[in-house]
Amino acid sequence: MSRRRTAALAALVLVVAALVVVVLLSVAGSDDDAPSKAPGQAQTQPAPAPSGGQPSHQDGSSGSGGRTLGRSGGAALPLLDKGSAPKSVNDKLGPAASDGTISLGELRGSPMVLNVWSSDCTPCRAEAPLLESEWQRLGRRGIVFIGLNVADAPGAAKQFRKDYDITYPSLEEKKATTARALGATGVPETLFISKKGDVVGQVQGGINLGQLEVGIRAAQSGAELGTQQGGGQTPLP
């Protein structure tokens, strides 16, 4: 083979090799720019954030929005009835109630179930036996139950407690200022508060056993539960 033909063939080989390199680099660059996905899995767009309000949870509930008792624990509220408490929680409730008032912040350190109620509220009557039963069962395990009676006459409120044999303490608040500050919207409403004093969940309306148990577990663990819908509810005045 002549030198000329050999040189021409070598040049052709170099051109083909260069074209192959260019094609490979182009393919690699397009792969880098494409979003990665698992084989056989269609790409999806991220779900849009909910508009306004509190963040949504997968179960359709909304978060508690970072509500907390704060350092001061809020106002000292008058005791409607101190009730009776097992030793496991009375070590905390007793000193807090010694002056006839309780600031919720004084109860920080214990998981808390705070039930907002009124004597003329029909759903409050429906849930009262359940709350008392769970208090009897869980108070001895260190779970604090507190009633917060709002916009009510003391005589009617005390008769309500007597009618349903309520033994956990209740506070009273005429204008529902503390209830609103913690996110309550009506009666009945049950809020679950962690040991750190954070509102981790609530049930708007009459509560059932399942909601109560799940809420108590959230208060014990400090895990965010969000807002659940219960039975009937009357808006706060």
Question: How confident is the model at residue 165, as a pLDDT?
Answer: 97
Residue 35 has pLDDT above 90, yes or no: no
Measured in degrees and rounded to the nearest 5, phi and psi for residue 22 equal -60, -45
DSSP string computed for 155-212: HHHHHHHHHTT--S-EEEESS-HHHHHTT--EESEEEEE-TTSBEEEEEESS--HHHH
Question: How confident is the model at residue 108, as a pLDDT?
Answer: 92
Hey, is 27 helix, strand or coil?
helix
Question: How confident is the model at residue 23, as a pLDDT?
Answer: 44
The average pLDDT across 109-134 equals: 97
Question: How confident is the model at residue 3, as a pLDDT?
Answer: 54
- Token pair in block for residue 198: 């954070």
CB atoms under 10 Å from CB of 123, counted, come to 20
Spatial separation of the C-alpha atoms in residues 93 and 169, rounded to whole Å: 9
Question: How confident is the model at residue 1, as a pLDDT?
Answer: 52
Q: Range with the lowest mean pLDDT among 5-14, 17-26, 214-223?
A: 17-26
Residue 218 has pLDDT above 80, yes or no: yes
Residue 158 has pLDDT above 80, yes or no: yes
Question: How confident is the model at residue 4, as a pLDDT?
Answer: 54
Residue 168 has pLDDT above 60, yes or no: yes
Going by the DSSP 8-state scheme, the letter that residue 52 receives in this structure is S
Which is higher by pLDDT, 89 or 49? Answer: 89
**Which fold is adopted by the domain 77-235?**
Glutaredoxin (3.40.30)
Q: Which of 130, 176, 168 is nearest to 152 (CA)?
A: 176
% helix, strand, coil for the chain, step of 5: 40, 20, 40
The average pLDDT across 93-122 equals: 94
Domain boundary assignment for the chain: 1-30, 77-235
pLDDT tens sequence across 56-79: 333 334 444 557 775 445 789 999
Spatial separation of the C-alpha atoms in residues 103 and 94, rounded to whole Å: 12
Model confidence, pTM:
0.72
Measured in degrees and rounded to the nearest 5, phi and psi for residue 80 equal -80, -45
CB atoms under 10 Å from CB of 212, counted, come to 22
Spatial separation of the C-alpha atoms in residues 93 and 147, rounded to whole Å: 13
